Amino acid sequence: MKNKVLKRIVLFPIIAYALLLILLPLVYILFLSFCQNDSYGGMIYHFTLSNYLSIFDITYIGILLKSSLIGLVTTFLCICISYPFALVLRERSKNVQNLMTKLIMIPFLTNSLIRTYGWIVLLRKNGVINSALIGTGLIHEPLGLMYNNLGIIIGMTYTLLPFMMLPVCSATFKIDNNLIEAAKDLGAKPLSIFKNIIIPETLPGVFNGSLMVFMPAIGYFFISDILGGGKAMIIGNLIKNQFLTARNWPFGAAISMFLLIITFLLIYIYRKLGGKLDDLGGM
Amino acid sequence: MKKILIILCFLLFITGCTSNKHYNGVVNVLNWSSYIPDEVISSFEKEYNIKVNYGTYSSNEELLAKVTSSKEGTYDVVFPSDYMVELMIEKGIIQPLDKTKLSNYHNINPIFLNQEYDKNNNYSLPFLSTIVVIAYNKDNIKDNIEGYNDLLNEKYKNNIVVLDDQRIVIGLSLMALGYDMNETDINKLQEAENWLKNLKNNTKAYDSDSPKTFFITDEVDLGIMWSAEAILAQEKNNNIEIVYPKEGHAISMDNYTILKGTKNKDNAYLFIDYLMRDDVSQKIIDEYPYISPNKNISNSIDLNDIFNNGYYVKNIGESIKNYDKLWANIK
């Protein structure tokens, strides 16, 4: 009994935090997305669906597609890096696993904006990478590593990697060794172990990671601004512009809600395909 | 016992943090980021014994959002640009200025007064100004650069840094085509879109925060940027040439205004009057080379150049949506 009370007391700040700082702003954004705007950037509290309808303009659909492409490439690269890493790490001792996952986390305690600026020093025309390559005579003209889509993808993949790494690692570490032993005893070849045990067991982790990489990848406007030279507009820039330059908060709110709907849709599809929600929380 | 000691220490620590020097009053200021050196603020606090609560914003829209979403009287002095002054007057956010309370009013060069956004300066007085210029590195660019259309030369592929500001950049493309900077006609905007797509072929990056860095690190040889940034780039590299585009340039003027409902009106006037002083204006310009309206200070830019062929961004009402879409199409 006492335990229960204590639990509630401990949980209260977390629930209050979630309600106050996550749910409440979300409800406000939802409310805004149905309002009209006046040209002064003010709100007219008059119900309209036009904000949602204007998302389906060819211009904005184009931005959505371009962002999605950047998001997909980023997600794919994150999987390509995280998956082999997790599989190799699985074979190591608990201490090595702990150490390696901590080593991945530590750089990410630094502000991501500062780390993104750090990349400029590496990638720019006479930056570290280009100077080294020219110095060794491998290339003669500096490579265009940033201020283009390549720069955006490098920045996104680097920044979002831990969001893929952690769920994939925890899913891989959780695979029961007995299962693999049994498969081996029954004569399964490594490829078929991989196909029939490892992939199905880690799929929820990969899906979770993909969701956590893909959604920010279409929203992190500062990376496209800094490493892409502001030349590619992704959904994040579009939303930011509605709030800061176009003075059209309701439209910005509608795009934000639209992204939320896409997230829910992806989770829904995942469940339809037989995934369990519990596995998604498996951090 | 130990616990009590710890609590006592903690309480002492807290009171240590909150107990402050006693000031005679406060003034709540909201200004652009990197605009007034910290030293200028602290000298004011010392001299007048008035605490300055200093906040910053990075766009006029952010300023508007901050002011309208907080209680009246939260801020006293704000520094909106030209078109935002007009909008704030229309919305009734700022109050008329009483120039008799400003002993340094006569320091303002009259050429900066009576601008179109506040005809008789009833509500605002100029603080600092800047214009958009073309800058290029003479070392690497041997051609004659006179205006925006010269930047479309295919030779300059990936060699230009352009302000990341939708109103200014669309405005200058309209000027390049011979139209008004604030044109709203759909067909002309379509032409501007094509012009900007051509410029994008030559653009390395859009950046408003620090375009000078692109020059300093040799990333580009040409740029469309604020005059202050161009001057800073010039200080690092003498070979950088500044051009006033022949088709016209954008001016931006930031202004002293006092918000309605201020509770520190006298301090607000004191603060504005202090910033208008010659020595203070000089200190600000030394750190950030914007154009000062103070007539006792020599500017690095000829004042006739500023106003003769300069145009302000104006409020264009609902057409802002077309501008926004155009900008999205280019990017």
**Interface subset of A 163-182, CB within 8 angstroms of B:** none
In one letter, which amino acid is A190?
Answer: P
Across the interface, of A125, A231, A248, the residue whose CB is closest to B206 is A231
- B327 part of contact set with chain A, CB < 8 Å: yes
d(CA A60, nearest CA chain B) in Å: 8
ipTM of the complex: 0.83
Q: Residue A237: its chain B contacts at CB < 8 A?
A: 331
Tell me the whole-structure pTM to 2 decimals: 0.85
Q: Residue A238: its chain B contacts at CB < 8 A?
A: 328
Taking alpha carbons only, the member of A144, A118, A146, A116 closest to residue A220 is: A116
Q: What whole-number distance in Å separates Cα of residue B331 and Cα of residue A236?
A: 13
pLDDT digits (tens, 9 = 90+) for B93-127: 999 999 999 999 999 999 999 999 999 999 999 99
Geometric angle at alpha carbon B28, from B62 and B17, rounded to 5° = 110
Across the interface, of B91, B205, B219, the residue whose CB is closest to A40 is B91
Contact A241 B327 (CB under 8 A): yes
Q: Quick one: what percent of chain B has pLDDT higher than 70?
A: 94
Asked if residue A217 lies in contact with residue A157, where contact means CB atoms within 8 angstroms, the answer is no
pLDDT digits (tens, 9 = 90+) for A97-135: 999 989 988 888 889 899 999 999 999 988 999 999 999
Contact B331 A144 (CB under 8 A): no
d(CA B221, nearest CA chain A) in Å: 13
- What separation in angstroms does the CA of B217 have from each of B21, B116, B160, B236, B255? 45, 39, 13, 11, 33
pLDDT digits (tens, 9 = 90+) for A10-30: 888 888 888 888 899 999 999
pLDDT digits (tens, 9 = 90+) for A211-270: 999 999 999 999 999 999 999 899 999 999 898 888 889 999 999 999 999 988 988 888
Q: What whole-number distance in Å separates Cα of residue B214 and Cα of residue B162?
A: 10
**CATH architecture, domain B130-250+310-330:** 3-Layer(aba) Sandwich (3.40)
Contact B320 A248 (CB under 8 A): yes
Q: What are the average pLDDT values for consecutive 10-residue runs of chain B, which has 331 residues?
A: 57 52 88 90 95 91 88 94 94 94 94 93 95 94 93 94 93 96 96 96 92 91 94 92 94 96 95 96 92 89 84 90 92 87
Query: DSSP assignment, residue B181?
Result: T
Q: Residue B62: its chain A contacts at CB < 8 A?
A: 244
Distance between start and end Cα atoms, chain B: 66
Looking at the domain covering B23-128+253-302, what would its CATH class be? Answer: alpha beta
Q: What is the pLDDT of residue A13?
A: 87
**Interface subset of B 77-136, CB within 8 angstroms of A:** 87, 90-91
Q: Domain A51-280 maps to which CATH number in 3.40.50.1820, 1.10.3720.10, 3.90.228.20, 3.40.50.300?
A: 1.10.3720.10
- A229 part of contact set with chain B, CB < 8 Å: yes
d(CA B278, nearest CA chain A) in Å: 34
Across the interface, of A41, A231, A242, the residue whose CB is closest to B331 is A231
Contact B219 A124 (CB under 8 A): yes
Geometric angle at alpha carbon B298, from B295 and B299, rounded to 5° = 100
- Check for a shared fold between B23-128+253-302 and B130-250+310-330: yes
Sketch the domain layout of chain B as residue ranges: 23-128+253-302, 130-250+310-330
